[in-house]
Amino acid sequence: MKKRIGPYPSVRVEGGGRGVVSRAGAVLLVESVRKSGLDTAISAAPAPWRRPQAVHDPGKILLDVALAVALGGDCLANVAMLRAEPAVFGPVACDPTVSRLMDKLASGGERALVAIRMARAEVREHVRRLAGEAAPDADGQVIVDLDGVLVLAHSEKQDATATWKKTFGHHPLTGFVDHGRGGSGEPDGEVRDGAWVTELAGDCLTGWPKGLRLIVREERPHPGAQLRFADADGMRLTRFATNTIHTPIAELELRHRQRARAEDRIRAARATGLRNLPLRDAAQNQIWLEIVQIALDLPAWMPMLAMTGNARLWEPRRLRLRLFSAAAQLVSTGRRRIPRLAKHWPWTDVITDAPDRLHALPNPG
């Protein structure tokens, strides 16, 4: 009779195994890249900066870094995760090649940034057409949540300055397209008592764009809340601008308060490459921010195109824990390579059903 020591079984660990794929669930992101046409669009964007005899496609390098960030990486060197799994991610450039491309694109300045952004915009429109009624603009309205985020710097970084929280770093302005109740993170809201809402007009809006409405809300702060400099007479003041017409201001104010999910998106962004800016020069970090946006696009587009139910609401951290981190046995049949997931993994069905939905979509172009 063997006696177990402790609450967990004793396990020996050995190396040298073959036929196993780590992060096999990341095929969901790879298939989303293929079906959305992001690989083709991003490949064309940095073409002017490709060296004549380059082995690796600059667009593929950018996508590889973005995939590494989507999987939890926070620096360029984390692309090694993909390099270790060529059966899933194909050939991946070495670290010096990745660094040289970042320097090359950073030297391209605004031209390189515009090229990447135009490629993303083109693919974004295509993804929304594929999503149909699940797209965020299906009802003819797009809501963009804007908010700033502090990115701390723990070493010398160009353009890093002191922040109002007495820290040191950068303060990029972020914008997130709201995916509504069918997307990730939709809080409920209702009209509350103890608040007054009004619309300002006249001289207050001199010089503002035509049709813009300025809404101000005054309310009693909840117990323990700390008043801000702009608050007056013990009341909390919040204001927002909108060009929505023919809608009562109470409904507009309720819609604005439901924008609390912007904080959820910022939390997800911090967990997807925005925790720090890993490079020293500001131009390089601008390219990094473009990569972070691609890394945030993929976990937003993939559930919209391929998942149903509560799984569509999962944030990047949960997607990584339940789906992307799943390992698989690599089975080769003819010319096909099939990652075979463990039957007992609770979310195997989610991982295997999603590619079927992606494969049913028309190919780009």
* Segment among 235-244, 283-292, 294-303, 343-352 with least mean pLDDT: 235-244
Which residue has tokens 């946006």? 293
Average pLDDT in the 214-226 region? 75
Predicted local confidence at residue 192, as pLDDT:
45
Please, which pLDDT band fits residue 3 given cuts at 50, 70 and 90?
Answer: low
Rounded Cα distance, 339 and 18, in Å: 13
Q: Which long-range contacts (CB under 8 A, 24 or more apart) does 196-199 make?
A: 197/249, 197/250, 197/253, 198/249, 199/249
**3-state DSSP assignment of residue 151:** strand
Question: Is the CB of residue 302 less than 8 Å from the CB of residue 28?
Answer: yes
* 112: confidence class by pLDDT, cuts 50, 70, 90: very high
Q: How far apart are CA 25 and CA 319, in angstroms?
A: 9
Residue identified by tokens 């002191």 is 162
**Contact between residue 93 and residue 19 where contact means Cβ atoms under 8 Å apart:** no
Is pLDDT at 235 greater than 60 in this prediction? yes
pLDDT band per the 50, 70, 90 thresholds, residue 189: very low
Provide the pLDDT for residue 204: 59
Query: Tens of pLDDT along 243-258?
Result: 888 888 888 887 777 6
pLDDT tens, 55-87? 899 999 999 999 999 999 999 999 999 999 998
How many angstroms separate the CA atoms of 324 and 327, rounded? 8
Looking at residues 7-13, what average pLDDT do you find? 84
- pLDDT at residue number 18: 82
**Is the Cβ–Cβ distance between 200 and 217 less than 8 Å?**
no
pLDDT at residue 335 greater than cutoff 70: yes
| pLDDT of res. 73 | 93
Nearest alpha carbon to residue 305 among 42, 88, 28, 66:
28
Task: Report which of residues 14 and 42 the model is more confident about.
Answer: 42
pLDDT at position 36, please?
93
Q: Choose between 123 and 160: higher pLDDT.
A: 123
- Residue 320 phi, psi dihedral angles, 5° rounding: -65, -45
- Pick the range with the lowest mean pLDDT from 20-29, 228-237, 278-287: 228-237
Mean pLDDT rounded to a whole number for the chain: 84
Taken in order 56, 58, 59, 60, is the CA torsion positive or negative? positive
Supply the angle between the helices 282-306 and 348-359 in degrees, to the nearest 10.
90
Most confident of 94-108, 204-218, 238-252: 94-108
The 8-class DSSP code of residue 166 comes to S
pTM score: 0.82
Confidence of residue 230 (pLDDT cuts 50, 70, 90): low
- Write down the pLDDT at residue 321: 94
Q: What is the pLDDT of residue 1?
A: 53
**Alpha helix positions (H), the chain:** 27-36, 38-44, 58-70, 80-83, 86-89, 95-107, 109-131, 249-257, 261-269, 282-306, 316-319, 348-359
Predicted confidence (pLDDT) at residue 29 exceeds the cutoff of 70:
yes
**Across residues 269-296, what is the average pLDDT?**
89
Nearest to 30 by CA among 302, 311, 323: 302
Q: Coil, helix or strand for 236? A: strand
pLDDT of 260: 65
